[in-house]
Chain A
Amino acid sequence: GENVEQHPSTLSVQEGDSAVIKCTYSDSASNYFPWYKQELGKRPQLIIDIRSNVGEKKDQRIAVTLNKTAKHFSLHITETQPEDSAVYFCAARATNFGNEKLTFGTGTRLTIIP
């Protein structure tokens, strides 16, 4: 089955600086890679996703890059703000018929230092 590894497990950055979180996956059939943000005591919520036919996707201060050859993808947050403090999860899913499993990484606790 799919195995998703995520690094680092914790990350502290000064407000205004950039943050980068990296993930690797094992199943070459995976073709959908979402990122979820979970604030303390809340549910995980999708913030951005990328599919395997795209190398990069941006949404305001958030961007995700994908390297299918190397089987890794990354989340980039620029101009970080205090409200970016949360746990971020990457995930991978093979959206082939009959397989809808979304496998999550172990999470990165991001702390923005004012």
Chain B
Amino acid sequence: DAGVIQSPRHEVTEMGQEVTLRCKPISGHDYLFWYRQTMMRGLELLIYFNNNVPIDDSGMPEDRFSAKMPNASFSTLKIQPSEPRDSAVYFCASSLPLAAGELFFGEGSRLTVL
């Protein structure tokens, strides 16, 4: 397996534009997580899915952020409209259920909002 695949790797956009980040989890992993990493706040969990169903979205900053998982092999994180404070590295990660434990991260998407 190629691991968790994220795209784009880098995105530079202007304030007010819509941003869509994409993730393909490892095949067979039931859980998918979206994290945001900044110097100030570290790794923050935004939302996670189990079997394509959102379980906890309490970390989503505000209504400008939305995430979907239409099927077991694809998820998107959308920011609309984007703001400079959204600049961060966004990681997608997937894992097997419960006791198996390990989170496998993608390479991340570095977002810069000007």
Binds B, one of A19-27, A67-75, A77-85, A95-103: A95-103
For chain B, the bracket of interface size reads 20 to 34
- Alpha-carbon gap, A15 to B95, bound state (A): 34
Partner of A103, one of B41, B45, B101, B106: B45
On whether the beta carbons of B108 and A43 are closer than 8 Å, the reply is: yes
On whether the beta carbons of A102 and B108 are closer than 8 Å, the reply is: no
Consensus secondary structure, chain A interface: loop
Chain A residues contacting B48 (CB-CB under 8 Å) are 100-101
On whether the beta carbons of B91 and A43 are closer than 8 Å, the reply is: yes
Instruction: Select from chain A the residue with minimum beta-carbon distance to B6.
Output: A43
Chain A residues contacting B50 (CB-CB under 8 Å) are 100
On whether the beta carbons of A104 and B99 are closer than 8 Å, the reply is: no
Partner of B98, one of A42, A97, A106: A97
Chain B residues contacting A1 (CB-CB under 8 Å) are 58
Report B53 CB to chain A, min CB distance, Å: 11
Q: Is B31 an interface residue (CB 8 A)?
A: yes
Interface residue total, chain A, C-beta cutoff 8 A: 22
Instruction: Select from chain B the residue with minimum beta-carbon distance to A100.
Output: B31
Q: Is B70 an interface residue (CB 8 A)?
A: no
On whether the beta carbons of B102 and A49 are closer than 8 Å, the reply is: yes
Q: Is B61 an interface residue (CB 8 A)?
A: no
Report A64 CB to chain B, min CB distance, Å: 13
On whether the beta carbons of A34 and B56 are closer than 8 Å, the reply is: no
Known: A43-B91, A100-B50. A95 touches B45 (CB 8 A): no
Report B28 CB to chain A, min CB distance, Å: 16
Q: Could you pull out 19 A-B pairs where Cβ atoms are within 8 angstroms?
A: A1-B58, A43-B105, A43-B107, A44-B43, A44-B91, A46-B103, A49-B101, A49-B102, A89-B43, A95-B98, A97-B98, A100-B50, A100-B55, A101-B48, A103-B45, A104-B43, A104-B45, A105-B42, A107-B43
Residues of A at the B interface (CB closer than 8 Å) are: 1, 32, 34, 36, 42-46, 49, 89, 95, 97-98, 100-107
Known: A95-B101, A102-B33. 10 other contacts (CB 8 A): A36-B103, A42-B107, A43-B106, A100-B55, A100-B95, A101-B56, A102-B103, A104-B42, A106-B41, A107-B43
